[in-house]
Amino acid sequence: MQSTSLRGNRGPRYKQGARDATPYESIVVRKLTPIIGAEIDGIDLAQPLSNRTQDEIHRALAENLVIFFRDQTLTPDQHVAFGRRFGDLHVHPAAPHEAGRPELMIVAADENSTRANGEGWHTDVSCEAEPPMGSILYIKECPDEGGDTLFASMYAAYEALSDRMKAYLEGLTAVHDGEHVYRGTYANLGVADKPAYPRAEHPVVRTHPVTGRKGLYVNRGFTVRINGIPRDESDGILRYLYEHMENPLFQCRFRWRPNSIAFWDNRCAQHRAMWDYWPHRRYGNRVTVAGNKPY
């Protein structure tokens, strides 16, 4: 069974190591699981942030991979300004955005939708040569039940692999292609297709530029094949990795309420949105922080 597949003769194959126990001074951090996810209290993101608070948000993100903020009321300008505190902003190559605000992606589904954003496990826009560093999703409207988002640690998924599998994956690259993901996807919303969509090659195992930790960097959404090996071998390895990284041991699950924010690190986490609330409405905006070329 998948839920027990990581158990060995000496306990779980993945064991959470010691973490920095230095207390936070300007925010309250409540971990959702030992491996991934934390809710951040004691902060109003509509107010100016001190340098210390911003540094501690950076630290909380690095330690927990995805952080959540409840009961936030932000204007579009404040949402954009918060994102810009962490870097330049990325504009999505295909998705609709608010009028005149290309950096404010629309994330919405209702009774008229034919799909919902992020229904499968993925890392945002990994098809670009320099994929986004992080995504900041602000949900303003959501159903009373359903619509949760799942997040998974790619650090933990990598660290739980056998040494032989780690050695096999070392140095391999994979193709990430946006063509099959984006073409025609937003036609029902009046978004015309572009002549071409991004396509890039990235390491199968990525090193995080801040933490120095290694994590898996392939995903069901965008990765189409591993380079340098036969196609059937690539398909088999990717299938194994996808099933492995989706183990519940590596996950946390966030239940949305109106005016909640999730800020996740695309360099070391994947996510999946549940569309189990039809015909109810879910609406929000995503601001995405630009990133660098994976290595």
Active-site residues: which are they?
A: 122, 124, 271, 286
Count other C-beta atoms under 10 Å from residue 141's C-beta.
14
Nearest alpha-carbon partner for 187 in 84, 96, 74? 96
Contacts 24+ apart (CB under 8 A), 162-168: 166/205
DSSP summary character for residue 199: E
Provide CB contacts within 8 A for 42, sequence distance 6+: 26, 27, 28
Q: What is the dihedral of CA 54, 57, 59, 65, to 10 degrees?
A: -140
Under a CB-based contact definition with an 8 Å cutoff, are residues 38 and 67 in contact? Answer: yes
